[in-house]
A and B are shown apart, each in its own frame.
Chain A
Amino acid sequence: MTWTADQPIVKIFDVHKSFGKTEVLKGVSMDVAAGEVVCIIGPSGSGKSTLLRCINALAVIDQGSVQVEGQEVHDPDLDQLALRRKVGMVFQQYNLFPHKTALQNVMMAPLHVLGEKRGDVEARARELMRKVRLAGKENHYPGELSGGQQQRVAIARSLAMRPDIMLFDEVTAALDPETVKEVLVTIRDLALEGMTCILVTHEMGFAREVADHVYFTDHGVIVEHGPPEILFSQPQDPRTKEFLSHVL
């Protein structure tokens, strides 16, 4: 069975996942079409990060299925590295490599993972630094950059692998309010270019603006989902209403 672009690029079906005795995901299903922007919202501890981590096999599921471009992620024969080359991920804590400059951070994976030529990689990395509006900061170390700047380097680093899908896990949660916007603008640009994005976020205004589809999770299940204009203005489930009343 070969995957074609009219099928969901990410297909999550009835995923269960436990840590020890606590079941963190209790049968989650979700389809994401290519080019779509999906936001996952919900209280902390509801399993949002775990769900994202199942998509690039950072976490292993106990039951159900996760398919990326038609390939079962949890097939023991799957080449995990090949999967991760297609799926980029950006974390709340940026996790830049502190001993490398911004540019080196962006160049490392294409050089050593993809084995591309240094000249090509460097040109692309510089272009990406411009794209995340950080031209001129190439030779700065992460410690010399603000949180928002580090996070944009992290986004550029992920994009340097030319992924088909980007995962963002509360990437603005650790930032000062002033720098949140610059990161959101970067992500919005990406979304507008047609990158498939799955983001966990607490920025409801942003979710409403960029998302094609919003999922609300609570206690390991998807309580409710729909287009943002419907989910945010006419939530059906009492839990969704309760949550939105706190965050909107």
Chain B
Amino acid sequence: MTQSLLRRWILLLPLVSLVLALPHEALAAPGQPGILASLLKWTPLIFKGFLLNLLASVLSMALGTLFGAFLGLAQISPNRLVAKSAWAVTQFFRNAPWLVLLFYTVLLIPFEIGISGGVIPLPDTAKAILGLALPVMGNVSEIVRGAVQSVPSGQWESAQALAFTRRQTLWMIILPQCLKRMLPPWMNLYAVLTMATPLISIVGVEEAMTMTRAALAAENRSELLVPMYGMLLVWFYLYCAPIAAWTKRLEMRFGVKA
């Protein structure tokens, strides 16, 4: 089913972008290259930027998932203080605007850090990835907490009665049951994150959005605006829509709602 859906998208979307581009084709001034020709010319550059978006999405997700998993487990700690602090941190990063977090991270972290004599440079891209990882962390933390708490208390109880320690119970009995429940919301989060990666253009990362703007500035032709941004939209759509479809299928299979 996913296969046929995917094929339909892949056929549909270039068509959509063509429809977007065609009315503008007529607008190309005499003596200038056609719109499609201009798009093709800039495609390699913009696509390189797009790959950076994808790289940022993968790295932010990995980092955010790692931190978020720890934070989520801290939220269910039997130690009240740990649980409360983890809850507060989670709420803070979940409810802060992504862009503001991004600015903060980029501004607050120095451009290089010295560790035992050596100096490690921190490029803006690395800082931006960290900036996006923070809201991911908050959201993953909630996903973990929610999934663990959705396991019936009888599971904890029977494990306890069998003399499993709390840690064993969590790792051998509770978390394995949660993984399935966590997967759909986690994938959903990844799609949202990917769509948010153009934000990092604002802090100077040369991703697809920055490249598109640069191309448009170089061409200085207003009729290129809609087709070029349209092309970007199509790329993001082609990448994210299958993830959304797959998430939906998993949700149905596991009988959970995101």
Contacts and interface: CB of A to CB of B under 8 A. Distances in A.
Partners in one complex: yes
Nearest to A110: B162
A99 B176 contact: yes
B161 A84 contact: yes
B245 interface: no
Contacts of B154: 91, 93, 95
Interface residues of A, number: 24
A113 B168 CA distance: 9
B93 to A, nearest CB: 31
A98 B157 CA distance: 14
B177 interface: yes
B222 interface: no
B155 interface: yes
B168 A112 contact: yes
Nearest to B165: A81
Contact of B162 (A84, A93, A99): A84
Contacts, number: 54
B66 interface: no
Contacts of B155: 95, 97
A85 to B, nearest CB: 5
Interface string A56-94: 101000000000000000000000011011011101010
Contacts of B152: 93, 95
A97 B164 CA distance: 13
Interface in A104-147: 108-109, 112-113
A60 to B, nearest CB: 13
A84 B177 contact: no
A111 B202 CA distance: 55
Nearest to B168: A112
A58 B160 contact: yes
A99 B177 contact: yes
B193 to A, nearest CB: 29
Binding site secondary structure of chain A: mixed
B172 interface: yes
A95 to B, nearest CB: 4
Contacts of A217: none
A128 to B, nearest CB: 14
B12 interface: no
B176 to A, nearest CB: 5
Interface range on chain B (Cβ under 8 Å from partner) = 10 to 19
A95 B172 contact: no
Contacts of A96: 158
A88 B158 CA distance: 10
Contact of B163 (A93, A97, A99, A109): A109
B163 A81 contact: yes
A161 B163 contact: yes
B157 A161 contact: no
A89 B177 CA distance: 22
Nearest to A85: B163
A101 interface: no
A149 interface: no
Nearest to B172: A112
A62 B213 CA distance: 71
Nearest to A57: B160
A91 B163 contact: no
Contacts of B173: 97
Interface string B140-165: 00000000000010110111111111
A69 to B, nearest CB: 15
Nearest to A79: B163
A161 B162 contact: yes
A161 B168 CA distance: 16
B161 A89 contact: yes
Given A91-B157, A108-B172, A98 B164 contact: no
Interface of B: 152, 154-155, 157-165, 168, 172-173, 176-177
Given A58-B161, A85-B163, A99-B177, 11 more contacts: A58-B160, A82-B163, A84-B160, A84-B161, A87-B161, A88-B161, A89-B158, A95-B158, A108-B162, A109-B163, A113-B168
- Ranked nearest first, the 10 interchain pairs of A and B with the lowest CB-CB distance are A95-B158, A84-B163, A95-B154, A89-B161, A109-B162, A81-B163, A113-B163, A85-B163, A99-B176, A93-B154
24 contacts: A58-B157, A58-B160, A81-B163, A81-B165, A84-B162, A84-B163, A85-B163, A87-B161, A91-B154, A91-B157, A91-B158, A91-B161, A93-B152, A95-B154, A95-B155, A95-B157, A96-B158, A97-B158, A97-B177, A99-B177, A109-B162, A112-B164, A158-B162, A161-B163
